[in-house]
Structure 1
């Protein structure tokens, strides 16, 4: 136990060394009716990172570099975000993820997702339990759960539908989801650029995404893998309602609340977030080499 704590502490002290040593591979994976951009770095048991809505894989920059020192880290742009083109026919985000993992030669993985990515991670775990060794939903969405109506979100949608993506982005960054992170001058410029780059994407994909009809909320007790739920104390009420449901209905799940953090936990508190995730993963049973 002491050795594990020492290793985690040392890893957290040397982020720049880790950055310098990481050589990522990248490419496109063919999926039904399109292609998905993905990147892979490091060696070890696969760990996949799934980004939030109106963002892309770059929101995981800190984690991609950090965890590549111990795991085979996979991150990708969800269909229609970042460098992944929008869909041209009905598709499933869960099946896209399954295909990406196969492209990355990962039969099973630790699955981490934030917000939209958390919803995808949960749906994927239910659809493909044989491909998941541990689940970490972070400030997650949940299919089948209706978040409280937010007038600001309606205004964002109307602005996007009108083609005013600058206004849609500004409104999104002022929302309760993003406001805590936008107060940090270290991450606000990057977050703004990510949001602006992806402002139109979810609109392009929404009508073709078959997963919007999922209802994971009814099947949460079926999740049997080790599950760590992470949420910021300053996140919006709807997200806390979701994490409460997950904690109550997923057997043997555990929850960690990061005090003072908002919705974008991994960007707002990267070192604390990395430490929590690493400690959880290091407690998982050793994975045979043939499955790596």
Structure 2
């Protein structure tokens, strides 16, 4: 992973990150380093936050299909992708605030996937005037019981030990078979494999992953909120998605037929249609395609 700074005479010039989505890239300076940012499209701004072991390439299908209607802004979070800022989940809300200020986003739509759901919720709580709508894709929430007996438990401590022992490849092989990572074929599988290949485990070495969002926080959200995941995601993630719809004052849920946790990659046509419909008409009910 190359650093963002190259020398030109006596000054430092930030060479933009290599584009991953066909857009315009830049570096966002944050505490302890830089985050890779990519913008593509035109129209209302939509900020996209990726999940664990992933990077902004997970939004490839969305950039391809939605850039004619929205300005998609995707970042590589701390510890992932091209970003070189040290992993620190507690700083990610501030990173998002810095991004909004830097890009002069008076208001925008916000999408948080899986691990990034906690950051998206925290930001929406703290900056209610800026978040038009909030989309929470396959996130985790504290206070939701797992009736399926830890159906999607991630053995983070075991993974961290493997990385410390220099067995990153073994950790990746195990994670690639986890229910949250399966269900991809063709180009979607290639994108997922490329992201996992570049994952270096530095966040696991940095320590605990950080706090999960809590259900009571969802109850405080005043903007339209869409919980979305696949019908084949783990039972617990589906329970969390349904709880978002019940708990957020303006909440609703959307389940993508035959899709799993990575539904935006595996079933982009259905996902993009549901996302665009919500962003365009957030207060209208989104048809529920639940088929459990």
TM tier relative to shorter chain? 0.7 to 0.9
Q: Are residues 1:167 and 2:170 paired?
A: yes
Query: In the alignment, which of 276, 279, 286 is matched to residue 278 of structure 1?
Result: 276
Question: Which sits farther off after the overlay, 101-110 or 255-264?
Answer: 101-110
CA deviations on 1:99-156 (whole Å, 9 max, x unpaired) are 1122222122101121112332222212221220001111112367687383755543
Distance 1:154 1:214, change over 3 A: closer
Q: How many residues align?
A: 259
Find the aligned partners of 1:51 and 1:261 in 2 and give their Cα distance.
18
TM-score normalised to structure 2 length: 0.80
Instruction: Give the corresponding residue for 2:124.
Output: 125
Structure-2 separation of matches of 1:78 and 1:143:
22
Structural mapping, 1:1-292, within 5 Å? 24-87=23-86, 91-142=90-141, 148=150, 150=153, 155-181=158-184, 184-207=185-208, 212-213=210-211, 215-284=213-282
Q: Distance in 2 between matches of 1:204 and 1:121?
A: 24
Deviation (angstroms), 1:162: 2.1
Q: Which runs of 4+ in 1 moved over 6 A?
A: 144-147
Q: Deviation at 1:269? A: 0.3
Seen in structure 2, the aligned counterparts of structure 1 residues 153 and 32 have a Cα distance that, compared at 3 Å, is closer
Q: Which runs of 5+ in 1 are unaligned?
A: 1-21, 286-292
- Cα shift at 1:169: 0.9
Distance in 1, Cα, partners of 2:202 & 2:158? 17
Structure 1 residues 247, 151: closer, same or farther in 2, change over 3 A?
Answer: closer
The change in CA–CA distance for 1:176 and 1:185 in structure 2 (over 3 A counts) is: same
Is the contact made by 1:234 and 1:262 (CA closer than 8 Å) also made in structure 2? yes
**C-alpha RMSD over aligned residues:** 2.5
Secondary structure of 1:98's partner? helix
Name the SS of the counterpart of 2:180 in structure 1: coil
- Going by fraction, where is helix more abundant, 1 or 2? 1
Contact 2:227/2:254, CA 8 A, preserved across alignment: yes
User: Residues of 2 paired with 1:193 and 1:45: CA distance?
Assistant: 29
Question: Matched residue of 2:53: which SS?
Answer: coil
Partners of 2:132 and 2:154 lie apart in 1 by 39
Compute the displacement of 1:75 (Å).
0.3
**Which deviations, in whole Å up to 9, do the C-alpha atoms of 1:8-33 show, x marking residues without a partner?**
xxxxxxxxxxxxxx962211111122
Per the alignment, in what secondary structure is the counterpart of residue 186 of structure 1?
helix
Structure 2 residue runs of 5 or longer lacking an equivalent are 1-20, 284-292
Question: Cα 1:78–1:185, aligned 2, differ >3 Å: closer, same or farther?
Answer: same
Alpha-carbon spacing, 1:123–1:97, altered in 2? closer, same or farther (3 Å): same
- 1:157-181 alpha-carbon deviations (Å, 9 max, x no partner): 4322322111111111101111222
| Change in 2 beyond 3 A, CA 1:64/1:198 | same
Cα distance change, pair 199–260 in 1 and its aligned pair in 2 (3 A): farther
